[in-house]
Amino acid sequence: MTEKLLISLTVNGRRHDDLVIESRYTLVDVLRHHVGLTGTHVGCEHGVCGACTVLLDGAPVRACLIFAAQAEGREIRTVESLSHGGELNDLQRAFSACHGLQCGFCTPGFLMLAEGFLAERPDATREEIREVVSSNLCRCTGYQSIVDAIEQCARGRREAQGEAR
């Protein structure tokens, strides 16, 4: 018999109670099919492509490799958290300006990977950005434009910080 669980998840600052799921369900499936946030994409389902990357307590993780039940009591952020009032955030705008996406399938994963990384490493060098993005797969862009976008966003955030001081 399949075991059912009642869990609650906090996603993008909002608590979702009364989620009745099977214990085998992954976080990405519950986000998409139970919470209704379909911005997180599912590619390989084996932890290889990174399309399903979300932030868990601020750290990028592959949501296809985590059971939803394991995320209970933790802060989950998905790509939907980046824009506010229909306005893209600076990272999303940089992806657009630098042509960091083509088909866009990989983009939510790269955005959340970069968001978590820049929070940890605001002074990241281009080489470090290259190293980080190598963990996710993009079949379209050739990666240079993605690196450009993250570098541009990081520079903009540093400049904004400098001006705020």
Closer residue to ligand FES, CB minimum distance, 99 or 155: 99
**Nearest of 136, 127, 138 to residue 60 by alpha carbon:** 136
Which of 47, 58, 73, 142 is in the footprint of ligand FES by CB under 6 A?
A: 47
Cβ within 8 Å of residue 86, ≥6 positions away: none
Please report how close the Cβ of residue 104 comes to ligand FES at its closest, in angstroms.
6
- Where in 6-35 is the site for ligand FES (CB under 6 A)? none
| 8 A C-beta contact, residue 89 and residue 156 | no
**Nearest of 56, 59, 67 to residue 27 by alpha carbon:** 67
Closer residue to ligand FES, CB minimum distance, 52 or 112: 52
Closer residue to ligand FES, CB minimum distance, 11 or 63: 63
Please report how close the Cβ of residue 103 comes to ligand FES at its closest, in angstroms.
3
Please report how close the Cβ of residue 158 comes to ligand FES at its closest, in angstroms.
26
Q: Where are the alpha helices (DSSP H) in the chain?
A: 27-33, 90-97, 107-120, 126-133, 144-164
Interface with ligand FES, residue 38, by CB under 6 A? no
Angle at 25 between CA 20 and CA 31, to 5 degrees: 75
Closer residue to ligand FES, CB minimum distance, 47 or 122: 47
Interface with ligand FES by CB under 6 A: which residues? 42-45, 47-52, 62, 64, 101-106, 138-141
